[in-house]
A and B are shown apart, each in its own frame.
Chain A
Amino acid sequence: MPLLKPILSLARVSRDFDVSRPWLNRVLEHEPKRTLRAVDGVSFSVEPGETLALVGESGSGKSTIARLIVGLYRPTEGSVAFSGRRMQMIFQDPYASLNPRWRVRDIVAEPIRVLHTKSRVDELLVQVGLSPDDGEKYPHEFSGGQRQRISIARALAGEPDFLVCDEPTSALDVSVQAQILNLMSDLQSRLGLTYLFISHNLAVVSQVADRVGVMYCGRVVELAPAAQIFTKPRHPYTRMLLDAVPDLGMTGKPRTPVAGEVPNPLAPPPGCTFHPRCPYANERCRTEVPAVINNVACHAVEEGRI
């Protein structure tokens, strides 16, 4: 791959949240402050024009990373560097992210209120597969998929080159999801967009991503080209996730169910956070946090045990 200057890079980014009880309770009950580390020392970079996907289960820190990148949160440690022109975000819930009292035209024009022209708004609506007449309507007159098209039109209004998409199709039905994913991929090739795509759905990710980062308990445990993640996963957690996805080809075949659950983020296990569920865990995994070596954070992979 030619060495392009990354459009976005994260260097050892961590984010803590204060989850202490109220001050009075703490003082009366002699409790210390408690913090929850939602993102723990994450580093990666995104090349211009690619789609980098982050996958993980709930509580893995995916959405916190999205919010750190667009500046809705500040990192507790580490830094986020952006060298593109402008970034925008597409949210999961197209019902909550559009103002119900505004006409679609005003919603789409909001980021460019100073210099917007009617023709620009029309162009944006057509670009996402709506008609210019739709601009006069209100959000409630649209279905979920059409609302997500409106959110995309709004995100594109300021001509961003980088879009952070946090579960953009999770609230949609499959046939509508297909329409939106195809639209996003068309827009990417037409406008040269770069996407950071966040999803819990591995099948969706395999359709859209060039590279995939797998998150577990606030850390990126494996980051690799999509083809490699889906054919030769290395980290035991990635393997487990791929085994767990209900698959259309699985009719009637037995499967090995996954053991255990995601640990409590307030009291994550020491060492590798995945060790209580990992079939390859040994003493080192229980005590020492694995560093990311060749894009995988796993002692067993590093030692050549798997």
Chain B
Amino acid sequence: MILEVEALKVEFPTRRGTLTALDRISFSIAPGEVLGVVGESGAGKSITGLAVIGLLEPPGRIAAGEVRLEGRRIDNLPHEEMRRLRGRKIGVIFQDPLTSLNPLYTIGRQLEETILTHLPMSKADARARALSLFREVGIPAPESRYQNYPHQFSGGMRQRVVIALALAAEPKLLIADEPTTALDVSIQAQIIALLKKVARDHGAAVMLITHDMGVIAETANRVAVMYAGRIVEIGGVREVIHSPQHPYTAGLMGSIPRISAKRGRLVQIEGSMPRLNAIPAGCAFNPRCPKRFDRCVVERPNLMSTGKEGGLSQAACWLHAAT
């Protein structure tokens, strides 16, 4: 396993008490594997990514649990060491490529500097590597675009530049937070194809955070579904999408509009996700759950095997409790 997260708990102390943004979540990602992390806004997807790379905004803090990269614990590293590790072993791709690029430097210079910071190389070699990375991520005629500034690129091309930057030091782990959300559908498909290719060719572990189930369906090998700061279901992408085991996942899948020849009604989950300061006791989903019974209101379910996929599929739901 490249990344292992174990019982990770993230808290935000506020004047009105401590909010638990992530409540004991555990997952792992193998080399070459793409783990999709889905959920609606406020479910804790992005916080998970930020906690892994050590970029939680204070006062947010990791209150319990461990994050391990290639077996080594990284959640308690000093800032400086973590910063070096980030460019070198962990590549990060955010939603808005403009915020990840410096508008005052040419893209060639930005990539070259990133390479030189992390890899022992001569300037000429760094330039050659930068050009080959630009070629790999599909920027046409990289030699002529090397001296261009970020504003001279379209949104899709900028996202390619950001991916090249993330790959600069051959990272073991790539974290992509909504990498296609700001892009048009036709460009989105190109970026998805690129991410998949990168995971395969470089053998990197990819954590793909998105609210878009369609993107997950096409890119991920496994999916973790989040709700109110917890993972409610985790399993193979096909199984989670086509036979969801948690009532929330089932409702979520039904509410996703699909292309069909005729108009129809969508499945709807009543209500909305609780705010962090009002998470109900027991299962966080119980007030909205059509299958709720007594135990759900009082006792919190942890992830348990659903008996599918030889024990790899897990859901946090009392419906799957061995009786």
Contacts and interface: CB of A to CB of B under 8 A. Distances in A.
Given A246-B189, A246-B218, A262-B184, A174 B261 contact: no
A250 interface: yes
Interface string B250-266: 01111111111111111
B111 to A, nearest CB: 21
B156 interface: yes
Interface residues of A, number: 49
26 contacts: A51-B263, A173-B211, A173-B273, A174-B40, A174-B255, A174-B256, A175-B40, A175-B255, A175-B269, A181-B266, A206-B257, A206-B258, A206-B259, A244-B186, A246-B189, A246-B217, A247-B217, A248-B256, A249-B217, A251-B238, A251-B241, A252-B238, A253-B218, A257-B190, A258-B189, A262-B186
A185 B256 contact: no
B277 to A, nearest CB: 14
Interface in A218-241: 226-227, 230-231, 240-241
Interface in B234-279: 237-238, 241, 251-270, 272-273
Sorted from nearest, which 5 A-B pairs have the closest CB atoms? A246-B214, A178-B255, A173-B40, A178-B266, A57-B184
B162 to A, nearest CB: 16
Max chain A C-beta neighbours (<10 A), residue from B188, B218, B252: B218
A243 B214 CA distance: 13
B318 to A, nearest CB: 21
Contact of B186 (A57, A185, A248): A57
Interface of B: 40-41, 154, 156-157, 184-190, 192-193, 211-215, 217-218, 237-238, 241, 251-270, 272-273
A201 B40 contact: no
Given A175-B40, A175-B251, A227-B261, A244 B185 contact: yes
Q: Which of B184, B190, B262, B269 has the most CB of A within 10 A?
A: B184
Given A145-B272, A207-B264, 12 more contacts: A173-B273, A174-B213, A174-B255, A177-B257, A182-B266, A185-B265, A203-B259, A206-B257, A209-B263, A245-B185, A249-B258, A261-B186
Contacts of A177: 255, 257
B257 A261 contact: no
Most chain B CB within 10 A, of A178, A208, A240, A246, is at: A246
A262 B218 CA distance: 23
A243 B188 CA distance: 12
Interface of A: 51, 57-58, 143, 145-146, 173-179, 181-182, 185, 200-204, 206-210, 226-227, 230-231, 240-253, 255, 257-258, 261-262
B263 A245 contact: no
Nearest to A254: B193
B117 to A, nearest CB: 31
A248 B40 contact: no
Nearest to B237: A251
Contacts of B254: 178
B237 A203 contact: no
Chain A binding site: helix, strand, loop or mixed by DSSP?
A: helix
A60 to B, nearest CB: 9
A243 B218 CA distance: 13
B259 A245 contact: yes
Nearest to B41: A173
Contacts of B261: 206, 226-227, 230-231
B262 A248 contact: no
A13 B212 CA distance: 35
Contacts of B214: 203, 245-248, 250
B260 A206 contact: yes
Contacts of A175: 40, 251-252, 255, 268-269, 272
B37 to A, nearest CB: 15
Given A173-B41, A175-B251, A210-B263, A201 B268 contact: no
Contacts of A203: 214, 256-259
A145 B255 CA distance: 14
A163 B255 CA distance: 24
A209 to B, nearest CB: 7
A204 B257 contact: yes
A201 B193 CA distance: 20
B258 A246 contact: no
A257 B218 CA distance: 12
B254 to A, nearest CB: 8
B269 A208 contact: no
A200 B184 contact: yes
Contacts of B154: 261
Contacts of A210: 263
A200 B183 CA distance: 11
B259 A258 contact: no
Contacts of A230: 259-261
Given A174-B213, A248-B214, A250-B218, A241 B262 contact: no
A178 B272 CA distance: 12
